[in-house]
Structure 1
Amino acid sequence: MNSETWQNLLHLESRDIVSNWFEKIHNRKLSARRAKEIISSARQGREYFRSASTASFAVRPLLAFYGVASLCRSLTLLHRWDAGEEGLKQGHGLETVAWSATLSGDLHLALASIYKLRIRTCGGLFSDLVTVTNSRTVWHVYDRAVPMPVDNKKQKLGQELCFLDILERLPDIGNTVSGGGNQKWIRLDDFIYSSEFGAEISVHGTPDHPVCIEYADAGFDLSKRNDPYNSSAEITVLKADENLFRKYLPQLIDTRVIRTMGGQPSPHLVSKFPQGSWFSQISITYMVSFIIGMLARYFPTHWSALMGGEKGDAIWPQINAAQMYIETALPELILEIVGNSIFDNKEL
């Protein structure tokens, strides 16, 4: 647990501070009961993460997911002015899709099929989290914060993803985790956006990179320029007007474990999810934690086999890296969203 990050998260456990934040976000007073609800979830999240940090990997992902859910509940309650805990939908907001069938049969074949595990969005904490945070989405491009025009109406229930869809889009996990295929992300150089002129996205790489090709196929204009800091490197510039940008909203994900030399997260342009779905980074982190946590909880034989070096365990290094990402990223993302809401509280 990063001591500085968790020290800052203690603000969510102070009634005076939470009340002040709530008033800044919503321009209304926070009741004592609502303050206790926000604080209790934040405190519970801290304890789950503390327990996870010292627990065996046999249960660590499950404890971490409970911590993720608790912190996300606290964040959701802080951003809702109209209702408290009684107004939140029951459940995690994600459901497994035919996991028993996917993991049936010989153990080594089942382990090799973990990439294929599917989840579906449904009513619950996940959908509540999406509702209150998407309209406040801010992309952090190194030392700049760029507010994004995200339409909550596009976040429909019933969207399905497989584990591989998510893993291969996380730059912290590594290259092409499936062992083949096209790389799904490319490092960002710069990002400029305005509702009047649209977007200009610069990435470190050539126009024939799979991600650049995907966005070009969607209508983005591509051009090349030299990297001023490396004469042998190349930068590709992707441009889109406002209509195209909103229609094919780019997926950005930054690193949290792997940092720049200055210690900042490194932003990446990422391939869109299947069916053109778009997810904020905190919702992606929630989904990864849910999958790993539920795998450890409901399939302990498979989970133990992964940790024990059984045949078919090729996904284990990626799962281990994903768990490290979750425990690093989620607390930081909570702080960023709160900060964005307090200091840049405006409608796009």
Structure 2
Amino acid sequence: MNSLIKPPDKSIDVVIPVYNAPELTKCCIDSVVANLGQSIRRIIIQDDASDMETREMLDGLPYDRLEIFHAEQNQGFGVSVNAAVNRSDAFYVLILNSDTEVSQDFLPLLCSAFEADPRLAVIIPAGNSYEKYDFNRYIVREGGYIQTHYLRGHAILVRRDAFQEVGGFDPSFGRGYYEDIDLGRRLDLCGWHYGVHPHAFIYHKGGASFGRERVILARRNRAFYLLRYPTARRNILLLSGNCSLVEFPSDFLDAIEVVCHEGGSVHWFTPELPSQLVCLQMYNHPLQLSSVIRVLLRGWKRADRRISEIWIMPGVPHILHSSLAFWAHLHSLKVLSPEEVIAQSCAVRMSPE
């Protein structure tokens, strides 16, 4: 059997939560029908108490595989998706924001990733939301995907059993923002994998349903998320000479992966660009003072982006090492060697709960 053909017993339903934005919503639904029609069973629309223009548009759509449910009151993105997924009995559910647009049938490609990795719970099609990443520089996992530990939920193909195993989206996040990242944390804690497929593409406009409220909602839910997962604030500044991942001590590489698994990030500064990075929460920058300063300044407005520790490997110029040590002293940050990082990680693992 061709590995890019979806197994016949693993059906796919599409779930689209809708709140206003009728033109974008219609464009999304039209694109799903036109490009995914051969791979899906039905499209479940959960209208979250939209205005009359959006309701009439939805009720006037001519597609026979469309199932529309109108909520009496607005309950938010997470609750809407959960309700729609509960109506599905498909093996996979493709959850799409109503401001996405499909231009290709990427579902056979995504299903082949699930077939290759039985612990894969979610696969995300790449697109304009990931355009800043050079996917050629990341380790490709079995199934052709690149691992991420930061789940962006605007377009996800998910195993329905895994989604329901962890309770779906948490309604505590209200109307939206960070409920997808929270879902990723809970999947990760249960041993599930998720990632981005670099050869699948979807367009996402972003923020269409919330308008001016998006900043307030995002700020509120970010604080709530970080209160629940405080280790997601860990952002590591890692400096080294020219080396590759395979040259890292295994325990040191484990420490890097722990930071990423917990929702943090690692900013790796090297004289030359390394050929591989662990996952999408690992970033690479040139080993220059200006680049280091740029990353350090990211945290002035957002505490969750603030550098929390500095790890320095051999091969870093003395003047840069000394400058960072002075800066770290002023801001009460640890400056650790690989040996100290490993010792710290061992101490955390051995400490009682």
After TM superposition, the score normalised by the length of structure 1 is 0.27
Specify the structure having the higher radius of gyration (Cα).
Answer: 2
Instruction: Identify, as 1 or 2, the structure richer in helix.
Output: 1
* Higher RCO (CA < 8 A, seq sep 6+): 1
